[in-house]
Amino acid sequence: MHLTREEEALLSGAEGRAAQKSMQILVALGEIYGAKRLVRVTSVQVSGVSYKNLGDAGVEFLNELAKDGRARVKTTMNPAGMSLTDWKSQGIGSAFAKKQLEVIDAYRRLGLEVTCTCTPYLAGNEPRFGDHIAWGESSAVVYANSVLGARTNREGGPSALAASLTGLTPLYGLHLDESRRPTLRVDIEAPLESPEDFSAMGYFVGKEVKDGIPFFTRVRSAGLEELKTLSAALASSGGVAMFHMEGVTPEAGAGAGETEAIRFTSRDLSETEAKLNDEGSPDFVSVGCPHCSLAEVKTIAELLKGKKVTKEFWVCCSREVKRLSDEAGYSRQVERSGAKFATDTCMVVAPIEELGYGIVATNSAKACHYLRNGGAKVRFMSLEDCVMEATGRN
């Protein structure tokens, strides 16, 4: 792989150990994937923030890098395992909290913005069309490639951080035009009437297309919330990093060409939704996977008006969306019901098993997938039904 003189200097250690280690990671990746050179990135989203996933080895790695490493481009970060300010009211133990705060401190010393959200594009990190970026949150990767038209591969925690500390990423995969073409046409025959329908559809298609690129046709309309949850679902049941949607996404113009085609029918929709439901009554309700938009918080506030929750109910969102909700008066309405905002975290990366919850109601197929992998039971339902579940239908 060709390196410029400046890149050679980074690799030689002339600009410190952290930059050198980062270059070693990027060069190794570039060689594995046949990249001819590196490319400058305009932003990075780092995953691997929850202590639940990082463990002590991860904390040690970060502390080592933080000795002389520094972010060279705008870098935001994924949710942590707890709210950084209200972790006690979430029931998080002090041993976990201490470790989690150590992780955040290392990232802060590295120059990352402490955003703790999987929707960086709703919290001030919104790349432009054609920008090369290095993002490590799979749902945000799909959203950035597909909806924003930015270019990123599905980065892991270390490779995203390496991109941040050098401002570079290997030029291969979805950074190149030829890798962004559809591999499977999906004709949507089912009426998709809510974000949850898009979530279930994405979950079905992710399994079919695996790490390919679906091209959706015949979708009547899709807004931010539908595209956000679709992105998350595609990346959880499959290894999808990008999709096209006729009439909706910016690179869908070229069409699907002669690719293979499948249909998504009403029966596929109802069967997928049924498979995302386990037996039993939920003892915990959580929405906001990916983190809620302001419009979603507004809807939740309206649904909760005059009601009290009878079960633990988390509304997961970024600090930025929470701040906007405070300003708009939605937060007061949500909190008056007894529901809690879970900023900085979510039901999947928080240690909910240690909090004693066993059956989680949620409106996200991605959350169902990962909660089940973690040993919990799940109920998949609409946002309205989640609120009803949490309020005991009072």
- The closest alpha carbon to 147, from 229, 227, 230, belongs to 227
Q: With CB under 6 A as the contact rule, which of the stretches 94-102, 205-213, 249-257, 342-350 interacts with ligand F3S?
A: 342-350
Sequence-distant (≥ 6) Cβ neighbours of residue 202 within 8 angstroms: 229, 230, 231, 232, 233, 234, 237, 365
**Residue choice 321, 346, 376, 378 for contact with ligand F3S (CB under 6 A):** 346
For ligand F3S, which stretch binds (CB under 6 A), given 105-113, 269-277, 341-349, 385-393? 341-349
Binding flag, residue 374, ligand F3S (CB under 6 A): no
Q: How far apart are CA 250 and CA 254, in angstroms?
A: 10
Q: How far apart are CA 337 and CA 339, in angstroms?
A: 6
Asked if 370 interacts with ligand F3S (CB under 6 A), we say yes
DSSP string over 177-207:
GGGGS-SEEEEE-S---SHHHHHHHHHHHHH
Cβ of 336: how many Cβ atoms within 10 Å? 14
> Is 79 one of the binding residues for ligand F3S (CB under 6 A)?
yes
Q: Which of 82, 118, 230, 303 binds ligand F3S (CB under 6 A)?
A: 118
- Residues 14, 108: Cα–Cα separation, whole Å: 23
Q: How far apart are CA 362 and CA 360, in angstroms?
A: 6
Cβ 7 to ligand F3S, closest distance in Å? Answer: 32
Shortest Cβ distance from residue 205 to ligand F3S (Å)?
Answer: 17
**Radius of gyration from C-alpha coordinates of the chain:** 21
When binding is defined by CB under 6 A, the residue of 160, 174, 188, 232 that contacts ligand F3S is 232
Q: CB of residue 118 vs ligand F3S: minimum separation in angstroms?
A: 3
Residue type at 346 in one-letter notation: C
| Closest separation in Å from C-beta 296 to ligand F3S | 12
Pick from 11, 19, 303, 348: which binds ligand F3S (CB under 6 A)?
A: 348
* C-beta of 175 vs 366, nearer to ligand F3S: 366
By beta-carbon proximity to ligand F3S, the closer residue of 22 and 119 is 119
Can you tell me which of 252, 349, 365, 390 binds ligand F3S, judged by CB under 6 A?
Answer: 349
Least separation in angstroms between CB 178 and ligand F3S: 29
Closest alpha carbon to 147 in 256, 43, 251: 251
Q: Which is nearer to ligand F3S, 291 or 377 (CB)?
A: 291
| Stretch 262-321 residues interacting with ligand F3S (CB under 6 A) | 289-291, 316
Stretch touching ligand F3S by CB under 6 A, among 8-16, 327-335, 353-361, 366-374: 366-374
Sole binder of ligand F3S in the list 366, 377, 380, 381 (CB under 6 A): 366
Long-range contacts of residues 122-131, Cβ cutoff 8 Å, at least 24 apart:
122/291, 122/293, 122/294, 122/318, 122/320, 122/321, 123/76, 123/318, 123/319, 123/320, 123/321, 124/76, 124/320, 125/43, 125/45, 125/74, 125/76, 127/42, 127/43, 128/42, 129/250, 131/41, 131/42, 131/43
Contact between 383 and 195 under an 8 Å Cβ cutoff? The reply is yes
User: Distance (Å, rounded) from C-alpha 285 to C-alpha 379?
Assistant: 9
Number of residues that bind ligand F3S (CB under 6 A): 15
Q: Which of 20, 76, 83, 139 touches ligand F3S (CB under 6 A)?
A: 139
Tell which positions 1-60 bind ligand F3S, by CB under 6 A. Answer: none
Q: Is position 120 an interface residue for ligand F3S (rule: CB under 6 A)?
A: no
By the criterion CB under 6 A, which residues form the site for ligand F3S?
78-79, 118, 139, 232, 289-291, 316, 346, 348-349, 366-367, 370
